[in-house]
Amino acid sequence: MRKLRVLIMGAAFSADLHIDAYLRLKDRVEIVGIVDRAADRIETLATRYGLTDFKSYSDIDEAIADADCDLVDVCMPNFLHHKVTVAALKKGRDVIVEKPFATTVADGREMVETAQRLGKHIYYAEDWLGCPALRKALELVESGAIGELKFVRARECHSGSHSPFAQTIEYCGGGSMIHLGIHPVGFMLAMKNNRWTELVAMTSGGGESNLVHKGMEGEDWAGALMRFEDGTTAVLEANYVSAGGMEDVIAFYGTQGCLHVDLTFSSPIKAFSIPGFDYTVEKAEITTGWSNPAVDEKFNLGYVSEITHFVDCALKGVDANVGLRGVDGLEALEVVNLIYQSAKEGVAIKNKKLGA
């Protein structure tokens, strides 16, 4: 079997998550290059994972022009997704794009249109769709175990990003909804094949209107109600005001039962430490006292499954499953922007694509 040659764009948080997954697929993947303007970040990442046989780049354009690869994995700040993706597609590469798809809908559309015109694939990295617990929950829902699904409540929250790129709308596209809420939005759209009919939303407003993060241009709290073509309703929330670690909580309510899924605090380990642990769960501010240290967090959060799926698709030259395609990333971005519009204007918004 030939190996898929991958160029990693970025050497920070997302790159770490993806490289962990690639190294579980050594029989199918070869990492041929890593790009980052900070050479020390590349060195740190390579040392962490024992990577030696790859080429380092500090310049995006040089890397795309020079690297002998099949797939470009974009693990860079949001505002660079458009530039890197379009350049890679024009070079004849397939592309993985981290969430959110882009910072503007116009950029997202150009990315999708470029891929379609050139006959290449964009794979959208929505890790919730790879989570073993959520995949099992969907199997149970589809089996009829809780009757007819009527309502879903989904939220992703933590205490706030310290990245400079998350502080301004120009660089990230918004606040907590586009950064965190993109997960529940993308998950629900995939679950319902993008067939939503109506939404209404509120946000904290950004800046001085925020609940906690007054220096952040985007909102630090956002909530939306969505209705889907089959009558299912969903409440989706994202915020930067939840201390204690990442909260990924999804609940499904049917006519004959319910399901509750906790992606981040459901470790089988319960521990107490006075000095504290090296790590417990993502975004936890402290690790002392009682905690539930994560067990293979990257696998349980879906990164391994999504990357495996993308590798298999790229090797076969086919598109990804619903929810994991470029068009799905664009749809999620469009919905997030409509959530912002609804919150700003105080109106409900109908899906014109369905004629709702």
Q: What mean pLDDT comes out for the span 202-230?
A: 97
C-alpha span between 63 and 172 (Å, rounded): 23
Q: What mean pLDDT comes out for the span 322-350?
A: 98
Q: pLDDT tens digit string along 159-192? A: 998 788 899 999 999 999 999 999 999 999 999 9
Provide the percentage of residues in the chain whose pLDDT is more than 70. 99
- Assess whether pLDDT exceeds 90 at residue 22: yes
Strands, E assignment, 204-291: 221-228, 233-239, 247-254, 257-262, 271-273, 289-291
* Averaged pLDDT score across all residues of the chain: 97
- Assess whether pLDDT exceeds 60 at residue 218: yes
Q: What mean pLDDT comes out for the span 119-143?
A: 98
In terms of Cα–Cα distance, which of 74, 82, 75, 63 is closest to 16? Answer: 75
Q: What mean pLDDT comes out for the span 139-146?
A: 98
Q: pLDDT tens digit string along 46-90? A: 999 999 999 999 999 999 999 999 999 999 999 999 999 999 999
C-alpha span between 212 and 241 (Å, rounded): 7
Q: What is the pLDDT of residue 354?
A: 86
Q: What is the pLDDT of residue 161?
A: 87
pTM strictly above 0.85: yes
Q: What is the pLDDT of residue 2?
A: 87
Q: What is the pLDDT of residue 210?
A: 98
Q: What is the pLDDT of residue 207?
A: 97
C-alpha span between 121 and 99 (Å, rounded): 16
Domain 132-296+334-354 matching CATH 3.30.360.10: the answer reads: yes
Q: Concatenated DSSP letters for 148-159?
A: SEEEEEEEEE-S
C-alpha span between 211 and 42 (Å, rounded): 36
Break the chain into its structural domains and give their ranges: 4-128+303-323, 132-296+334-354
Q: What distances in angstroms separate CA 28 from CA 35, 93, 316, 338, one per listed residue?
A: 21, 17, 12, 39
Contact at 8 Å (CB) between 267 and 292? yes
346: left (phi over 0), alpha (psi -120 to 50) or beta: left
Q: What mean pLDDT comes out for the span 196-219?
A: 97
C-alpha span between 25 and 280 (Å, rounded): 26
Q: What is the pLDDT of residue 162?
A: 77
Domain 4-128+303-323 matching CATH 3.40.50.720: the answer reads: yes
| Structure tokens, 44 | 């740190």
Q: pLDDT tens digit string along 251-288? A: 999 999 999 999 999 999 999 999 999 999 999 999 99
Provide the percentage of residues in the chain whose pLDDT is more than 90. 96
- Assess whether pLDDT exceeds 90 at residue 356: no
Name the DSSP letter for residue 181.
I
